[in-house]
Structure 1
Amino acid sequence: MHAFPYWRLSGYYFFYFAFLGAFSPFFGLYLQSLAFSAWDIGLLMSQMQLMRLLGPYVWGWLADRYGRRLLIIRLAALASGLGFLSFFWWQRLEPMLLAMAVLAFFWSAALPLVEALTFDHLREERGRYSRVRLWGSVGFIVAVLVTGALLDHLPASGVLWVCAAILLGILACALGLPEASVAHAGRETVGISDILRRPQVRALLAACFAMSVAHGPFYVFFSIHLADHGYGRSATGVLWSLGVLAEIGVFMAMARLGRRYSLRAILLFAFAAAVLRFVLMGWGMDSLLLAVLVQLLHGLTFGAYHAVAITAINLWFPGAAQARGQALYSSLSFGAGGLLGALISGYTWTAWGAGWTFSLAALAALVGYLLIARGVPAVATVDAAKRQKSADPVQ
């Protein structure tokens, strides 16, 4: 009988997303302490999005070509950790840019392969996936709260020690992961080029790109923005974790929402919430109440949006096209969109200021709203669309 390695997989997710919880909110503050400009900070942080655009395809191809998935996961954990260690003695832009690229290239390799490994272990019990993935969100929250509290008493460089310890945890968990037999995808019935010709598919992918552009300045500059308004490290950690808690709450409610509302309706609501969120983020951070509201809206602008977008991609890219559909979604949104948003905000932060930078993010979200409104039809609820997938892949 197959024994599911619940704690070994959950432990990996915990440390993987704990690294994000320590790195994303606080590494930009460390760079600011080194007197880097906003453009330099945006350029450095954008390497994470750039490598998410390129890395998963390269490592996925190698894993498929040579069948050494677990070896690649372990090598990625080791190489990303070694890349990060160079930050302890490099404090100039050029070598740090190289170190960030190495870190991001190897770090981005692992998660898609671990996701595939997890589903291969789950076999026919895919509904248990959320119970494993949940530990990633727990890891993020623990890391962001602990790191924020520590940095209230330590210099900004303390984030280096926290991230290094977490990367060591990732390596330890990677070494403990067991291999699983690979599940083969079903026969592809629709060509990828035929799928991409469908207006609703193009509209969704373009809207996802716009949503990630909108989130670019948030991931790079939100902590700096809070510090400029007098928020301490602990308060910054609490606000970041509040967004993840809202995201978890929305994920838990999605099954019920999917029985009542269409893909289009949920997406429109999420994009409208993003417009409001980024306007408030740009101009309302003097108010703690508005700062809390801004982070609660993360449950919609990422949680609801991402859950429904993933569902739509799963429906519209059937059979063997499904993996490429998910890769295309990830690369266009988190990769290309996040990269463009980070680079633009690195320029506008200094030239225009925080308010107009986040207003530009709200404009990107509005473009996404219009793409969904004009290009994605409201045919069925999410659940009904799933039931009709075999008869008509496009809802």
Structure 2
Amino acid sequence: MTGTDQSTEQCARLSGQCRSPVHRKCNSVSSILLLTFVIGLVYLAIGFSSPLITLYLQELGASYFQISLILTTFSAVTLLSNYGWGRISDRFGRRKPILLFGLSGLAVVYFLLSRAPTANWAWAIRLMEGVAIAAYVTPSLALMGDLLQHQGRRGRRMGVYRGVASFMFAGGAFLGGRVADASSIRTVLSICAGVYVLAAISGLFVRESAPPAPASPGRDEPAAAAPASNPGDETRPLPWIFLAGVLLWTAAHNAGASMWPNYMAYLGYAKTTLTSLWGLAALVEFPAMAFSGMASDVVGRAPLLIAGGATAAVVHIGYLSLAALLPALLAIQVLRGFAFGSFTTTGMTFAAEWGGQTRRGRNSGVFNAANGAGGILGASLGGSIVQIFGFGALYAVCAALAVASAICFVVLRKNGRTAEEGMSNE
């Protein structure tokens, strides 16, 4: 091979045109970093807004029942959209265009939401948000699965990816309440719109992972890294017991979280205090997710899912009995961060690596749809239970749902132990 030929091949490799497994692995690193930056921006905006959304709806005149209905319909739209975007991304073999549509849509949604004159207007805008957030969430998880397919220690990498998001969420939550107290919640939502614009611009530079090209006759190719799953498992759907556990865990989390700001306000905490408490839990999630990812690479995914369900039950019992005591509430929020980190990172990793690239969009969509179904159940329970029975009854129900999710993950470990351990990294 001449020097010119060598230079040409080197340029092709650097530009990402060489599609061998070894070079795909190298070229995926920059896209993983960019996706991590994008999810950080997305969760910065979510941290700014989510602790204040139900309070904003109250300011616009919504009752607890109407807040519950708004959250329920938002979750329903998100559920259907997650499934739809997953199928579309698999059918066309593309993730990035849908992801960019979602980020751009979120920028428009939050610009409009900051100017909503009534609760009904905010309701319609939040339905648009459900479509847009699904267009980001499902393709981004599938794309991360594509990029991590030929990487080792996928749990650790996913933990860092999602942990950065929680760290940025914490920063947003700490700042959001202060901005709202100093100005208004509308100002917070306007800032979120700008953050989503920056995320969409950053997403333009993400490169998708192309399917492996067939080897040329007579040409030796470097040995590929081990795939995420066995060839015979390329089209397998996610286990139903896993999806049931995801639904129950998310229902417990969403039911409690939907009324948590109102509960804190009922107990006398200021906006700055409640957003700081929310941010504290998110700050703990970063190391918790990194640790959970590394641990799941060693012991498997199911044990960390079980831990996430059991710890969440303890957290909700703490809200029920100790939330009026600020020192105890600080400890509960730290524990909540570990519960959320253990469940979220491990669930995302399990869903992203199960099956092959041609199925990953649908699996990501179904996983997020299960989260959405849990969101519907949780949102429908949250305000309704508080309106009729009070906050104490709500957190008792949340604890029971979290225990049920842990039981599902125990069954997952027992029934699919051999297959599940095969999904763990060597």
TM-score normalized by the length of structure 1? 0.82
Residue matched to 1:139: 168
* 1:21 maps to 2:59: no
- The answer on 1:348 being equivalent to 2:382 is no
Aligned position for 1:158: 187
Q: Which residue of 2 aligns with 1:57?
A: 83
Which residue of the partner structure matches residue 233 of structure 1? 271
Matched, 1:305 2:348: no
Question: In the alignment, residue 288 of structure 1 is paired with which amino acid?
Answer: L
Do the aligned residues in 1 keep the contact of 2:98 with 2:136 (CA within 8 Å)? yes
Query: Cα distance 1:230–1:24, how it changes in 2: closer, same or farther (>3 A)?
Result: same
Q: Secondary structure of the equivalent of 1:152?
A: helix
Structure 2 residue aligned with 1:393: none
Identity percentage of aligned residues: 20
Distance 1:169 1:33 in 2: 29
Report deviation, 1:215. 0.8
- How is 1:172-191 mapped onto 2 (pairs within 5 angstroms)? 172-174=201-203, 176-183=204-211, 189-190=232-233
Residue 293 (structure 1) aligns with = 331
**Aligned partners of 2:252 and 2:401: how far apart in 1?**
5
Greater shift, 69-78 or 37-46, is seen at: 69-78
> Structure 2: which 5+ runs fail to align?
1-13, 17-26, 213-226
Partner of 2:60: 34
Q: Tell me, what secondary structure is at the counterpart of 2:276?
A: helix
Which TM-score applies when normalising by structure 2? Answer: 0.77
Structure 1 regions of 5+ residues with no counterpart?
A: 390-395
Query: Could you tell me how far apart the structure 2 residues matched to 1:344 and 1:281 are?
Result: 17
Amino acid at match of 1:366: V
1:1-395 paired onto structure 2 within 5 Å: 1=14, 2=16, 4-5=30-31, 8-66=34-92, 69-118=95-144, 124-125=150-151, 132-174=161-203, 176-183=204-211, 189-190=232-233, 201-254=239-292, 257-258=295-296, 261=299, 263-313=301-351, 317=355, 320-321=358-359, 323-332=361-370, 334-373=371-410, 376-377=413-414, 385-386=422-423
Determine which structure has more spread, i.e. the larger CA radius of gyration.
Answer: 2
Question: Residues 89-145 of structure 1, C-alpha deviation per residue, up to 9 Å, x if partnerless?
Answer: 433343322211112211220233234445656674465565555442332122111
Go from structure 1 to structure 2 and tell me whether the alpha carbon gap of 1:180 and 1:95 turns closer, same or farther (over 3 Å shift): same
Residue deviations 1:47-101 (CA, integer Å, cap 9, x gap): 4432331112322333444456433333333333223333244333433222111
Using the TM superposition, give the Cα deviation of residue 307 of structure 1 relative to its aligned residue in structure 2, in angstroms: 3.3
The one-letter code of the counterpart of 2:404 is: V
What is the DSSP-based 3-state SS (H/G/I as helix, E as strand, rest coil) of the residue aligned with 1:40?
helix
Amino acid paired to 2:180:
L
Is this contact kept in 2: 1:39–1:347, CA < 8 A?
Answer: yes
C-alpha distance after superposition, 1:225-254 (max 9, x if no partner): 112212222222221122122222222223
Q: Which amino acid is 1:212 matched to?
A: T
**RMSD, matched Cα:** 3.4
Q: Give 2:45's aligned amino acid.
A: F
1:95, 1:299 → 2: CA distance? 33
Q: Is the 8 A contact 1:260 1:381 kept in 2?
A: no
Distance 1:132 1:370 in 2: 27
Instruction: Tell me the number of residue pairs that the alignment of Structure 1 and Structure 2 aligns.
Output: 382
